[in-house]
Structure 1
């Protein structure tokens, strides 16, 4: 099943909630690490596209994490 933008956003925000206790940049790197290890490339592409489109509703830590995904 293809991940929708809504599901990608929800899952990314969930990860940010779980790792948000870490200091800012450390949290962003941890989120990026989790997404890089466990997410399908198509899901990562959708996340990148959503951030490029403005990332409305996405946790700022996730937006910061996307910079580390490359």
Structure 2
């Protein structure tokens, strides 16, 4: 999975929601969009990139970082069942 591409996509989502007047609603909007439309492995990779030092390339915006940190629990995919 290309983390730089995921970060770029997340930043574009963040750019859209960052224009909203209600910051809490905007942060929730970023997280909700990623939760609803990104598959679990994409969400896992994006959250892992959040914890890693920034590479040379596309940097995650502060707004997206804030949204991911604030809504991390709801973004984590459920563990696959072993049944």
Q: TM-score, normalised by structure 2?
A: 0.73
Q: CA deviation at 1:18?
A: 1.0
Q: In the alignment, what sits opposite 2:30?
A: 31
Find the structure with the greater CA-based Rg. Answer: 2
In the TM superposition, structure 1's runs of 4+ consecutive aligned residues that sit over 3 Å from their partners are none
Q: CA deviation at 1:55?
A: 4.9
Q: TM-score, normalised by structure 1?
A: 0.84
Q: In the alignment, what sits opposite 1:53?
A: 52
More helix by proportion, 1 or 2? 1
Q: Runs of 5+ in structure 2 lacking a partner?
A: 74-83
Partners of 1:63 and 1:50 in 2: CA distance: 10
Q: CA deviation at 1:66?
A: 1.1
Q: In the alignment, what sits opposite 2:67?
A: 65
User: How many residue pairs align between the two structures?
Assistant: 68
Q: Runs of 5+ in structure 1 lacking a partner?
A: none
Aligned counterpart in structure 2 of residue 21 of structure 1, from 19, 23, 28? 19
